[in-house]
Structure 1
Amino acid sequence: MAYTLSGKVKLIQDPQTFNSGFTKREMVVIVEDGKYPQEINLEFVQDKVSLLDNLQPGQDVTVTFDIRGREYNGRYFNNLQAWKVETGSSDDSYMNQEPPAFDNNVPEVSFDDDIPF
């Protein structure tokens, strides 16, 4: 199941390559969430590492990712594994929606002026 989040890039880590040949690169995105913004760490692995090459801190992005979980020595770990990044403001999506239809057939309501309070 895919999830998305939108925010500003805070930082992009350098790629890490391990002895096994596995490569990953992490990015932190600041997501406005009420009073306290959240700093979300996302990882890009293998061929998806290159998606971060043209990004800069401060850019608005929408990231699509999967949640991955695993157990190691009785402890459980979760990762947000990203696989798609779109740049630009994501809050403009409402601009492409049609406004709700206006109903001209609304019945007229009359109010009694003899309200006791």
Structure 2
Amino acid sequence: MEITGKIIAVLPEQGGTSKNGNEWKKQEYVLETYDQYPKKVCFQLFGADRITQADIKLGEDVNVFFDIDSREYQGRWYTNISAWKVDRVAMQSSPEAATSPISNPTVAAPDFGPANPVDDLPF
């Protein structure tokens, strides 16, 4: 799956040591979509190498490729959105693109004839 938006929060990096003695790191980011009704999505990058490689900064426009995984713990379900690839999005340089990256084409109004037509209907 993939989603495109702007990074609005970079959460602190988390890390620790697993039961097997392996060190791990993850970092979470919040992305806001460009939809008419924007949605906020919190996703995570797992692994120090992926965090370094992605080098995500606050305010960047990105395209995130991710997997969704849910798990149960003590009768409650938890969902993770794990990114496996992050690409920078090249935004258009026009001022209109800065406010709305989604283009809304103008639609011409249909022509219904003169404003005061002669009513020639039989009813």
**Where on the TM-score scale, by shorter chain, does this alignment land: which range?**
0.5 to 0.7
Structure 1 runs of 4+ aligned residues shifted over 3 Å read none
- Alignment of structure 1 residues 1-117 onto 2, 5 Å: 3-20=1-18, 21-34=23-36, 36-46=37-47, 47-53=49-55, 55-89=56-90, 117=121
2: distance between equivalents of 1:75 and 1:83?
26
What is the SS of the residue equivalent to 2:7?
A: strand
Judge which range, 61-70 or 44-53, deviates more.
Answer: 44-53
> TM-score under structure 1 normalisation?
0.67
- Tell me by how many angstroms 1:88 deviates: 1.8
Q: Which runs of 5+ in 1 are unaligned?
A: 92-115
Deviations along 1:48-91, whole A, 9 cap, x unmatched?
222342x3222110000000111101111111000101002379
Distance (Å, rounded) in 1 between the aligned partners of 2:90 and 2:77 = 34
> Partners of 2:34 and 2:89 in 1: how far apart?
16
Alpha-carbon distance change, 52 to 15 in structure 1, aligned in 2, over 3 angstroms: farther
The TM-score, its normalising length taken from structure 2, stands at 0.64
Gaps (5+ residues) in structure 2?
93-119
CA-based RMSD of the aligned residues comes to 2.6
Aligned identity (percent) is 33
